[in-house]
Structure formats: C-alpha cells, structure tokens
Amino acid sequence: MATLVKAGRDARAANSGAAAITSRDNRWLKEFRLALRGGLQTATGCVGVEGVRLVEEALRSGCRMEAVLFSEAGERHHERLAPFVDRPEMAFPVLRTTDRLFGGIADTDHPQGVAALVAPRVATLDDILRVPGEACSPLLVVLAGVQDPGNVGTILRTASAFGATGAVTAASGQSGTASPFSPKALRASAGAALHLPILVGMSLPILLTQLRVANLRTLASSVHEPRDGDSPLLAPWEVDWCEPVALLVGNEGAGLPEEVERNADARIRIPMASGIESLNAAAAAAVLFYEAARQRKTLPAGNQRP
C-alpha cells in the first residue's frame, strides 16, 4: 500500500510540472486514439471514456484507472474531478495536451476536453448471480444479438436504474451483441456499464444451461406469434419478478431465435394498441424492468401504484 501511495504521489509530482503533450505520436495519445476513436481495448485491457460526467463515473466506479487526460479547454473541469485525480493514493498519471490534438483522438463532435483510460471489471458467472444486500433475488438482463451499441448502453442504464443485479452479453446464433464498453455504449449507459457486473461474450446455450442449474427463471422477450401448442405469452404483470429471473432481450429486428424462445421457461410480450407491432429493444426493456422494480419494491414508495 505504501508503494502504491508513493507511486501516486510521484506520478502527480511529475505531471504537475510536465509540459503538455504536443506530438500526435506520443504513446499516450496513441492509446487514447485506439480506445476512443478506434473503440478498441488497449493492450492492458482498458477502454476509453470521454466527457467530464463519464470520467467522473469511471473514477467513482472503483475500476482500475490507467490515465486521465485534459485538453487546454478541459482544464476548466479539473476542479470538479480534483477530489479523485488529486488524491495521493490514485496511482495513475494525469496528462495534458492541446485542444487540437485532443480533437484528433476524441470520438465526439464537440469534445469537452476530458478523457480517461479505465479497465472494466471482469465479471464471472458467480459475480452476476450474487445477490446484493438490498435485493430480494438475482435479476439479470441477457443481451442476445443486440447489435446497436446505443441500445446496449440504454438497456444497461435502464436495467441498472430499476434494480438489475447483473448483465450478460452473448451472440444469439444469428447476430452478435455490441460491446458494452465501446465509446457509444458507455455514453448511452451513462457509466452504468462500469458499475453493473457484466459477463461479456458468453455462449448463449451454455449460459441458459447454467442459469437453469442455478434455478433462475428465464424469460424470453418475444416478437414472434405463438404457434399451436405453445404456451401463451405473458404480460409483464403476470410475471413474479421477485423470483430469481433472467430476462432475455434479442436482436432489434429479428428478436430472439425461436429455438431460444422455446427453451426459455416463459415468453413475455408487452400488450400494445392495435397497429403497433413492437417497441424498440431499449424501450421494451425499460417497460419490463419498471414492472420488475415495482414488484421488487426498488422504486420510491410514492411512485408505486396501490
């Protein structure tokens, strides 16, 4: 611990008098460019977050930080982040560069001049099945073939807001799921992806088997009409969300493969007015998780219906 604190102090002392980075070939700018503009993880497993709010969420998350970068204009946000970046035990460099070079690594059109490299937590199946003290049971969201990173981030943000205890991303067999740690997904999640335990890239058949062994009820969000002999589709309020539950959300257009729906314990659909076929995947997840939160009593008392 003493070594870590000393390293943090040394890094801050070195940065306090260091000149701003002025070469686009600087190794740190290459790392930030790869993570932000390229949307890829660095060699050390870090992803890029950009904007003062997302950087603040990353610093609050407890995830390992590799570096924080300010542009000239971004220095105005230093005071807001100072309680985190100026603490001696934070053993990562605080870097500075020009506005022009920052614009060359940023993923947004109008960058705020603040970015960070952060290593997301590596979650295991045991992690996502663990029940936090305030929750009555596990409540998971399984993203299977959700291709748009904006939808992935929005679903994770919604799930976290309504009390989900973990998440899984998996390929559906027909399409893959966008990374929850891409810059667009992280922005859409408002940092929730750095707080919620997420198991990434799980095999869907193996996952469904392991959830069954763990006695979690699997609910398939369905876009398909039931066939003769199929069980009726459940409405959100017909589900006991206080049981251990994993909600499966499929591809934006095709939904879940029919064989996945048939292998789930139940299929669920949101009743809608005639003429409307379906909701956006993120909007549907919000409706379902709201009902889950209402039953699990994770909403403020004044917002619950009698």
pLDDT digit string (tens) for the chain, length 306 residues: 444 334 444 444 344 445 789 999 999 999 999 999 988 999 999 999 999 999 999 999 989 999 999 999 999 999 999 998 887 767 789 999 999 999 999 998 899 999 999 999 989 999 999 888 777 899 999 999 999 999 999 999 999 999 999 999 998 877 889 999 999 999 999 999 999 999 998 899 999 999 999 999 999 998 767 666 667 789 999 999 999 999 999 888 888 888 888 889 999 988 877 656 667 888 889 999 999 999 988 766 554 443
Gap between the Cα atoms of 37 and 60, Å rounded: 24
Distance of CA 105 to the CA centre of its chain: 22
Domain range summary for the chain, segments of one domain joined by +: 2-119, 125-303
* Angle of CA points 92, 60, 245, to nearest 5°: 130
CATH fold, domain 125-303, is Alpha/beta knot (3.40.1280)
User: Same fold for the domain at 2-119 and the one at 125-303?
Assistant: no
Cα 209 off chain centre by? 24
Chain centroid to CA 203: how far? 19
Rounded distance, CA 40 to CA 301, Å? 42
Is beta strand 198-202 parallel, antiparallel or unpaired with respect to 166-170? parallel
Rounded-to-integer distance, Cα 94 and Cα 16, Å: 8
Strands (E), 152-242: 166-170, 198-202, 217-221
User: Residue 117: exposed, middle, or buried by beta-carbon count in 10 A (0-12, 13-18, 19+)?
Assistant: buried
- Supply the pLDDT for residue 229: 63
- Show the tokens assigned to 87: 């603490």
Distances (CA, A) of 249 to 85, 211, 289: 38, 15, 12
Q: What is the pTM of this model?
A: 0.84
Pick the CATH number of 2-119 from 3.30.565.10, 3.40.50.300, 3.10.180.10, 3.30.1330.30: 3.30.1330.30
3-state secondary structure of 1: coil
φ, ψ of residue 175 in degrees (nearest 5): -155, 155
What's the pLDDT at 96? 96
Three-state DSSP class for 281? Answer: helix
pLDDT of residue 8: 43
